[in-house]
Homo-oligomer: A and B are copies of this chain.
Amino acid sequence: MKNNIKSRILKLAKKDVARIEKAIERNLQNEKGIVADAAKYIIFSGGKRIRPLLMILSAKLCEYKGENDALFSIIFEYLHNATLMHDDIIDGALIRRKKKVANKVWNTRTAILTGDFLLARSLSVAALMEKSEAISVMAGIMENMAKGEIEQLKRQRDITLSEAEYLFIIKCKTAVLIEGACKIGAIISDAEQKKIDSIARYGYNIGIAFQMADDLLDYTSDTSVLGKEIGADLKEGKLTLPLIYALNAAEPEDKKKIETIITNKDFSEKNFNMLLKLLHRYKGIDYTRNKAKVHIKIAKKALEIFKDSDTKEILNLIADYSMLRKS
């Protein structure tokens, strides 16, 4: 079923993804120098263009009449990659999408400036929309992403992190950007407020589901498929929902075991395998999967006000796929 959904999405979205790719290439083609090289390195490292695609599909759903949807959509790929650039420095990550992170290929300073360059570039495209509301949405995205990252840092290896606090972090770090991409797709289409709100709700909820699925991968995938180390989140001290739930559900003795592993930066493979067993025993994996499903349901529900179309079908498929993906 997983592969069916994926191939159906790929087939239906193929043309739009190609248009996004072309728009990015065109926008960067005249850029030379170190920052441009580093920007291209991350931008063309195999991202799936899901954020720009969602903007384009949202615009289509809201009957966008213009010709600039592909151009505008790259705002979200730039924003996303700008924060990846800065986050990889901050998190001390080594690998991203199966490649060395940019701050290791170049250095920290280049990565900081490349992030800034991509933010600037996203803004210069955003100015072309001539929609102040869209600029506000962008500002909100950027502010939330910075706040989410700092909150995450603050709570590194903090075993008291609650589910609500985890939700706040993934909202800021992931959902707000996807919500914003969908919302701006509706805004540039001059959609009525009700439609803007609905597509925003769709985006927010698949964003949450998407991040929960991502957090699950850290415990259920393997390194070669994932493109980064399994257990990497935990190594960085990030507590995610499977762990938070298991910690709360565990018997005192097991709880202690989990805590010991979390607070030890250099846990062994044996430690990690034990942790996996405990996560399963206390239903941390199941609970997270079910929560993600709830968000997918809300997302699909939000689409109901739109009339049926191919576009709506892809959006529904993407909702399903958001928690089926393997990498």
Q: Whole-angstrom distance from the CB of A189 to the nearest CB of chain B?
A: 18
Residues of B within 8 A of A135 (CB): 123, 126-127, 135
- The CA of A119 and the CA of B122, in the complex, are separated in Å by 13
Interface residues in A141-164 by Cβ distance below 8 A to B read 141-143, 145-147, 149-151, 153-154
Q: Within 8 Å of chain B (Cβ to Cβ): is A108?
A: yes
A124 and B136 contact, Cβ closer than 8 Å, known pairs A34-B154, A35-B147, A142-B119: yes
Q: Whole-angstrom distance from the CB of A116 to the nearest CB of chain B?
A: 4
Q: Which residue of chain B is the closest to A148 with respect to CB atoms? A: B113
Across the interface, do B112 and A112 meet the contact criterion of CB distance under 8 Å? yes
The main secondary structure of chain A at its interface with chain B is: helix
Residues of B within 8 A of A133 (CB): 127
Q: Whole-angstrom distance from the CB of A79 to the nearest CB of chain B?
A: 11
A120 and B132 contact, Cβ closer than 8 Å, known pairs A90-B109, A109-B89, A113-B150: no
Interface residues in A58-96 by Cβ distance below 8 A to B read 83, 86, 89-90
Residues of B within 8 A of A141 (CB): 120
Q: Whole-angstrom distance from the CB of A10 to the nearest CB of chain B?
A: 33
- The CA of A62 and the CA of B240, in the complex, are separated in Å by 54
- The CA of A114 and the CA of B146, in the complex, are separated in Å by 8
Which one of A83, A89, A112, A121 has the highest number of Cβ atoms from chain B below 10 Å of its Cβ?
A: A112
Q: Whole-angstrom distance from the CB of A280 to the nearest CB of chain B?
A: 33
A123 and B110 contact, Cβ closer than 8 Å, known pairs A35-B150, A132-B130: no
- The CA of A320 and the CA of B190, in the complex, are separated in Å by 49
Across the interface, do A127 and B132 meet the contact criterion of CB distance under 8 Å? yes
Q: Within 8 Å of chain B (Cβ to Cβ): is A1?
A: no
Across the interface, do B121 and A139 meet the contact criterion of CB distance under 8 Å? yes
Residues of B within 8 A of A145 (CB): 116, 120
Q: Which residue of chain B is the closest to A89 with respect to CB atoms? A: B112
9 additional A-B pairs beyond A126-B139, A127-B136, A127-B139, beta carbons within 8 Å, are: A90-B109, A110-B153, A112-B112, A114-B146, A116-B146, A120-B141, A120-B142, A120-B145, A128-B132
Closest 5 CB pairs of A and B: A124-B139, A120-B142, A127-B135, A120-B143, A123-B139
Task: Give me 5 A-to-B residue pairs in the complex whose CB atoms sit less than 8 angstroms apart, sorted by A's number.
Answer: A89-B109, A116-B119, A127-B135, A127-B136, A128-B132
